[in-house]
């Protein structure tokens, strides 16, 4: 097993509670999340993580009040534009996973496309921002794509199925970090997390920083990943 997980995925949770604890509007928590996002991108890159995925907005998040959704759309646009030069300079390749709903402002979708094009040749780390993402939707879309390709049912394998998911070059997730103490998947990269290790730090996302991220990587290193096998060295017998 690699000492550093190749693919780390974060469910950035707890912004609203961070704000509520300070008697601030929930949007203040989202604004405070920006610093964490940049910190974690830098920390992951420096630690040798090759793939970092951040869950920024789920297909279910459309159920939030309109004002909060609008705020998030504006905030994400500002963050994407502001940090594009830094991401380019750091050699980070950026991608946006999801982004299918017509309610997404056209200018935001364009900024996503621009940043992806700007950084497409970077080879440092691949940053996937899951925005208007739903794991189930991706699986349904893959099934539709397979059916359209007229692949005979008997020829459908897990590998072939995965080739029809968006960004099929994405490796399986090794480590999922969900902040704020919540312990659920919330429809995040369902296919790719099939054998991921999970950690659930109590800290709220706006307070999550490089030291807490590195602690998660250390926790991962102590895990025994068996993939259905038996512990190494013992062949399964008590030693």
Footprint of ligand IPE (CB under 6 A): 11-17, 55-58, 61, 72, 180, 182, 184, 186
Scan for tokens 């496309």, then name that residue: 113
166 with 141: CB under 8 angstroms?
Answer: yes
Q: Which C-beta is closer to ligand IPE: that of 93 or that of 133? A: 133
Tokens of 36: 């964490």
Which residues are part of the catalytic machinery? 13, 61
Report CA-CA distances (Å) from 26 to 58, 108, 112, 201: 17, 21, 24, 21
Which residues is 133 bridged to in the sheet?
A: 58
Is 107 among the annotated ligand-binding positions? no
Q: Which is closer to Mg ion, CB of 11 or CB of 94?
A: 11
Q: Is 59 annotated as a binding residue?
A: yes
Flag whether 106 is marked binding: no
Q: Which stretch binds Mg ion (CB under 5 A): 8-16, 111-119, 193-201, 220-228?
A: 8-16
CA torsion 131-171-145-56 (nearest 10°) is: -10
**Element of type H or E holding 145:** helix 135-148
Q: How far is the CB of 114 from Mg ion (least distance, A)?
A: 29
From the list 150, 220, 232, 205, the residue with the least C-alpha distance to 21 is 205
Site membership for Mg ion, residue 205 (CB under 5 A): no
Q: Which one of Mg ion, ligand IPE, none is in contact with 186 (Cβ closer than 5 to 8 A by kind)?
A: ligand IPE
Given the rule CB under 5 A, which of 11-19, 100-108, 126-134, 151-159 is the region that contacts Mg ion? Answer: 11-19
Question: What x/- string results for residues 12 through 51 when contact with Mg ion is judged by CB under 5 A?
Answer: -x--------------------------------------
Q: Minimum distance from CB of 123 to ligand IPE (Å)?
A: 27
40 burial via Cβ count (<10 Å: 0-12, 13-18, 19+): buried
Distance CA 173, CA 197 (A): 8
61 binds, among ligand IPE, Mg ion, none (CB under 5 to 8 A by kind): ligand IPE
**Region for 188 from its dihedrals, namely left if φ exceeds 0, alpha if ψ lies in -120 to 50, beta otherwise:** beta
Q: How far is the CB of 177 from ligand IPE (least distance, A)?
A: 11
Part in contact with Mg ion (CB under 5 A); list of ranges 7-15, 26-34, 37-45, 139-147: 7-15
Q: Is 184 annotated as a binding residue?
A: yes
Residues annotated within the binding site for substrate are: 14-18, 26, 30, 58-60, 62, 64, 178, 184-186
């Amino acid at each position: 097993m690699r000492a550093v997980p190749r693919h780390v995925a974060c469910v950035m949770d707890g912004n609203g509670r961070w704000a509520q604890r300070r008697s601030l509007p929930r949007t203040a928590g989202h604004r405070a999340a920006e610093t964490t996002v940049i910190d974690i991108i830098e920390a992951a890159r420096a630690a040798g993580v090759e793939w970092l995925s951040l869950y920024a907005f789920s297909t279910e998040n459309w159920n939030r009040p309109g004002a909060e959704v609008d705020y998030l759309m504006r905030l994400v646009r500002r963050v994407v534009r502001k940090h594009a030069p830094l991401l380019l300079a750091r050699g980070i390749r950026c991608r946006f996973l999801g982004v299918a709903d017509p309610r997404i402002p056209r200018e935001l979708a364009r900024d996503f496309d621009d940043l992806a094009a700007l950084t497409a040749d970077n080879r440092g780390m691949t940053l996937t921002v899951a925005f208007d993402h739903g794991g189930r939707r991706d699986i349904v879309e893959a099934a539709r794509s397979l059916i359209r390709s007229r692949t005979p049912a008997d020829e459908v394998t897990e590998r072939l199925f995965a080739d029809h998911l968006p960004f099929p070059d994405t490796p399986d997730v090794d480590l999922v970090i969900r902040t704020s103490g919540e312990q659920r998947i919330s429809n995040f990269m369902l296919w790719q997390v099939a054998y991921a290790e999970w950690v659930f730090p109590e800290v709220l996302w706006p307070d999550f920083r490089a030291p807490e991220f590195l602690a998660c990587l250390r926790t991962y290193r102590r895990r025994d990943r068996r993939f259905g096998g038996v512990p190494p060295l013992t062949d399964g017998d008590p030693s």
